[in-house]
A and B are shown apart, each in its own frame.
Chain A
Amino acid sequence: MSMHRSHILICSGSNCSHRQSRAVRSRLRQAITETGLEREFKVIETGCFGLCQQGPIMVIYPEGVHYCRVQADDIDEIVQTHLQKGRVVTRLLFKSGTEQSVELPKTAFYQKQKRVVLRNVGLIDPENIEESLARDGYQGLAKVLDTLSPEAVIAEVTNSGLQGRGGAGFPAGRKWEFTRKAPGDQKYVVCNADEGEPGTSKDRLILEGDPHTIIEGMAIAGYAVGATKGFIYIRGEYQLSLQRFRQAVAQAKEYGLLGQDILGSGFHFDIEVRSGAGAYVCGEETALLNSLEGKRGEPRYKPPFPANFGLWGKPTLINNVETLANIGPILIHGADWYRSIGSPECPGTKVFTLSGNIANRGLIEVPMGITLREIVEDIGGGIPNGRHFKMAQTGGTSGGCLAVQHLDLPVDIPHLAEVGSSLGSGALLVVDDSHCMVDLARVFLKFFAHESCGQCTPCREGTTLLKRLVDKIASGSGTAADIKAMRRLSTTMQMTSLCGLGQTVPTPVLTMLAYFNDEFMEHLDGGACATGVCRAAVKGVV
Chain B
Amino acid sequence: MREWVRQTVEQFGRDRHQLLEILGHLQRGRSYLEKETLLAVAEELDLPAAEVYGTATFYSLYSTVPRGKHIIRVCENAPCHIDGAAAVLAAVQAYLGLQVNETTEDGRFTLETTSCLGICSAAPALMIDDDVHGNLTPESAVGILKNLA
Contacts and interface: CB of A to CB of B under 8 A. Distances in A.
Contacts of B62: 277-278
A201 B120 contact: yes
Given A274-B20, A291-B20, A443-B76, A279 B59 contact: yes
Nearest to A360: B121
Interface stretch (A177-185, A330-338, A349-357): A349-357
Contacts of A197: 116
B95 to A, nearest CB: 16
A355 B61 contact: no
Contact of B119 (A201, A279, A443): A201
B139 interface: no
A540 B87 CA distance: 10
Contacts of B82: 356-357, 429, 431, 435, 440
Contacts of A18: 119, 122, 125, 131-134
A14 B122 CA distance: 11
A198 B21 contact: no
Contacts of A446: 76
Nearest to B122: A18
Contact of A362 (B18, B114, B121): B121
Interface stretch (A94-102, A220-228, A292-300): A292-300
B121 A198 contact: no
A344 B135 CA distance: 40
A205 to B, nearest CB: 8
A440 B78 contact: yes
A444 interface: yes
Of the listed residues B17, B51, B55, the one surrounded by the most CB atoms of chain A closer than 10 A to its CB is B17
B20 A277 contact: yes
Interface string B105-149: 000000000111111111101010011111100000000000000
B75 to A, nearest CB: 8
Given A239-B130, A277-B23, A296 B122 contact: no
B46 interface: no
B54 interface: yes
B60 A443 contact: no
Nearest to A195: B118
A275 B122 contact: no
Interface residues of B, number: 44
A74 interface: no
Given A52-B122, A355-B120, A440-B82, A397 B77 contact: yes
B48 interface: no
Contacts of B70: none
A180 to B, nearest CB: 24
A408 B84 CA distance: 30
Given A15-B121, A440-B81, A294 B55 contact: yes
Contacts of B58: 279, 296-298, 453
B116 A198 contact: yes
Nearest to A537: B86
Given A295-B55, A297-B59, A199 B77 contact: yes
B10 to A, nearest CB: 16
A196 B115 contact: yes
A274 B122 CA distance: 28
B115 A447 contact: yes
B78 A393 contact: yes
B19 interface: yes
Interface string B44-67: 000000010011001111100000
B78 A15 contact: no
A280 B115 contact: yes
Interface in B1-40: 15-21, 23-24
A296 B55 contact: yes
A296 B118 contact: no
A536 to B, nearest CB: 9
Contacts of A420: none
- 3 closest pairs, A vs B, by CB? A201-B118, A294-B19, A355-B120
23 contacts: A14-B119, A18-B125, A19-B135, A55-B121, A198-B115, A198-B116, A198-B120, A201-B119, A237-B127, A275-B21, A277-B20, A277-B59, A278-B59, A278-B62, A294-B20, A297-B58, A354-B121, A355-B123, A361-B120, A362-B121, A443-B81, A451-B115, A537-B86
Given A199-B78, A297-B58, 18 more contacts: A18-B119, A195-B118, A201-B120, A237-B117, A275-B21, A276-B20, A277-B20, A279-B59, A291-B20, A293-B17, A312-B17, A356-B120, A429-B120, A443-B76, A443-B77, A446-B76, A537-B86, A540-B86
Interface of B: 15-21, 23-24, 51, 54-55, 58-62, 76-79, 81-83, 86, 90, 114-123, 125, 127, 130-135
